[in-house]
Structure 1
């Protein structure tokens, strides 16, 4: 995936989220999503949260990209050992944060974070985009055993699109 595809994905996610929020009423947002324990509003925030996670992961991948592979692997194993607490924090954190970044604020948050990510991506050198780190694959279905900086930039849109299919209200988007 090239930079323009990644940035187009960011733009598409922003449009889709804005469309979803415009179409959904209180009942739809408070309803349970399909296949998760979250409400639709919680899940929409979690979709935005994927972009926030990517932004936080970038410095870590760049740091570990300069360290020896055994350290990368050991760190990924340590994180994998913490999967159960991570799952708890991921679930309850998204529930709580959806109260702050609710339907009235999450679209603006997504616009801000994707703009920041796009600007950062445009400035990355090819060498920087190729830096890589071992990942805890049990934390997310889109984490692969080794991810590059470029993979981390692409990750949140994959995460967004996956979870968009779990919303339990009908929506009409062009994506």
Structure 2
């Protein structure tokens, strides 16, 4: 007889979402205009652009949740083919990701970034609360070349956990101090 997997630790996921939300506010509120305009370490972005990119990671998760729900219901070859196509488009993705964050940081700048982060994390918190255990175990193939924290297959639970890893990785690249 197969035993049921343990329930997903929603409290840990929710706490990580809140941790990043608070950290983002501390980073943005504590930074001067000059610090935000500095280049980050290991990226082509300024600190302000990188901070937006960190918030954008949470924004992307809302769309990824939809994709996992859809592709988990399709035959596996369809999802794997989609992931292969996305992997093939990695160079284009990286360009769009870079220039998109540059442009978006002009709108979601130091004044607006915190509010955007609050909104998107509140929505993720609400959706996490409403997810069934069954849904949290849904999975799909992912384009592993797009992000170092994507794995070949990811569950909805892993997608909820992803943006904290992305946030922490990029936080180490900030040159605010």
Normalised-by-shorter TM-score class: over 0.9
Q: 1:157-172, aligned counterparts within 5 Å?
A: 157-170=164-177
Q: Which runs of 5+ in 2 are unaligned?
A: 1-7
Q: For residues 22 and 97 of structure 1, what CA distance do their matches in structure 2 show?
A: 19
Quote the RMSD (CA, aligned, Å).
0.8
One of 93, 100, 107 as aligned partner of 2:107: 100
One of 150, 158, 163 as aligned partner of 1:156: 163
Q: For residues 22 and 132 of structure 1, what CA distance do their matches in structure 2 show?
A: 37
Q: For residues 128 and 29 of structure 2, what CA distance do their matches in structure 1 show?
A: 29
Q: 1:14-25, aligned counterparts within 5 Å?
A: 14-25=21-32
Q: 1:1-175, aligned counterparts within 5 Å?
A: 2-170=9-177
Q: For residues 72 and 40 of structure 1, what CA distance do their matches in structure 2 show?
A: 35
Q: For residues 158 and 31 of structure 1, what CA distance do their matches in structure 2 show?
A: 23
* TM-score w.r.t. length of structure 2: 0.94
Matched length: 170
Aligned residue for 1:173?
none
How far apart are residue 40 of structure 1 and its match? 0.1
Q: For residues 122 and 41 of structure 1, what CA distance do their matches in structure 2 show?
A: 31
Structure 1 residue ranges (4+ consecutive) displaced by more than 3 angstroms after TM superposition: none
Q: Which runs of 5+ in 1 are unaligned?
A: 171-175
How far apart are residue 10 of structure 1 and its match? 1.1
Q: For residues 5 and 107 of structure 1, what CA distance do their matches in structure 2 show?
A: 22
* TM-score w.r.t. length of structure 1: 0.95
Q: For residues 130 and 65 of structure 1, what CA distance do their matches in structure 2 show?
A: 10
How far apart are residue 109 of structure 1 and its match? 0.6
How far apart are residue 23 of structure 1 and its match? 1.4
